[in-house]
Chain A
Amino acid sequence: MSAGSLAAVLPVPVVGALLSVAARPARPTVQFGVRVPRERAGAPVIGRERRAYYWRTAAIGVCCTAAAVTVRGYGSWWLPRIILLLELAADLGCFWVARRKIAAVKNADNWFAGLRQTIATDTSWRTDPPRFPVRWLIPALAVMAATAAVGALRYPGLPAHIVTGSGHRVPKSAVSVLVVAGQLYFTAVYSGLM
């Protein structure tokens, strides 16, 4: 499997695995976006829907990964992405089904009957917010500056061919340089620099 096809297929199992375990770290009082009383956190419907969500999304992940590996040979870069979108939609559907079932039982049994729900906010976060610790950025910025300096010294110019984000090797041109610059831009955005 080439680097390009691996890059196209890999997001499918990774996203599938991440969404499959997404419900695990949820707070006990908020299950699939449904707020439940602490005493009801262990209700049978919650355990049942968590297990059902896990197995459904795992099955979807396996099927989508198999489909992505199968279609990669056809050379269409967009087919694995379509499969990834379908996987996301199916996993969101599983989430919605679990949410709807838990909410239905919660409303039918009136889980919050006799309980007082309270909303609390700390106003000091608005009136006196903690300052961002700018000094903590210094090590990261130093590493980035050193990397950029070493890169500029060792590779003063771009190579004749450039590998794009989709794994294709393209000749150096104004467009391909812009593509690389765009990738650098998004890397900087994700790093929180811009």
Chain B
Amino acid sequence: MLLSIEPDGPVPIYQQIRDRIVEAIADGRLPAGSALPSTRQLAVDLGVNFHTVNKGYDLLRQEGLLRLGRKAGAVVRRDAGSGPPDPGWAQDWTGRLRTLLAEAAAQGMPATDIVRECLAATGDFAFPATAAEAGNGSGGSP
């Protein structure tokens, strides 16, 4: 997996690391069970502080996407085929989506454009075809 960040970008580096890994899980490049580099290794490779990577990994752990162990290291815990999301996650996500939509509305973006952008973005990721498929997943969820 090619992980790229913009050190001078407006988004914090730990957030960029978290976002790139989420995108890789979503598009199938990092299926459940995939190993990620240790925080120190990734920090060295990206030339950033170890605590920055640690913060990004910890966010992913809190979201249930990553499992951090002393022996196994950082391992992807779930992907699109691992079944329905954890309870409460959908509610949080809806709240964040509302904020994103509010930003678009405040900037004067038409609803049709928003829907078109959303549909275009869904083509980039490996969504389960149906709700039933999401419920019958056989991914790496523990």
Contact = CB atoms under 8 A, between A and B. Distances in A.
Interface of A: 116-124, 126-128
A127 B34 contact: yes
A29 B8 CA distance: 18
Interface of B: 1-9, 34-38, 41-42, 45-47
Contact of A122 (B2, B34, B35, B36): B2
Contacts of A126: 37-38, 41-42, 45
Contact of B5 (A118, A124, A127, A128): A118
Contact of B42 (A116, A120, A121): A121
B42 A119 contact: no
Contact of A127 (B4, B7, B9, B37): B37
A117 B36 CA distance: 24
A124 B45 CA distance: 12
A122 to B, nearest CB: 6
Contact of B36 (A116, A119, A123): A123
Nearest to A124: B1
Contact of A121 (B3, B34, B38): B3
Given A124-B1, A126-B45, A119 B34 contact: no
B6 A117 contact: yes
A89 to B, nearest CB: 29
B37 A119 contact: no
Contact of A123 (B5, B7, B9, B37): B37
B45 A121 contact: yes
Given A126-B42, A127-B36, A120 B7 contact: no
B127 to A, nearest CB: 24
19 contacts: A116-B9, A117-B8, A118-B5, A119-B5, A119-B6, A119-B46, A119-B47, A120-B5, A121-B46, A122-B3, A123-B3, A123-B37, A123-B42, A124-B1, A126-B37, A126-B45, A127-B34, A127-B36, A127-B37
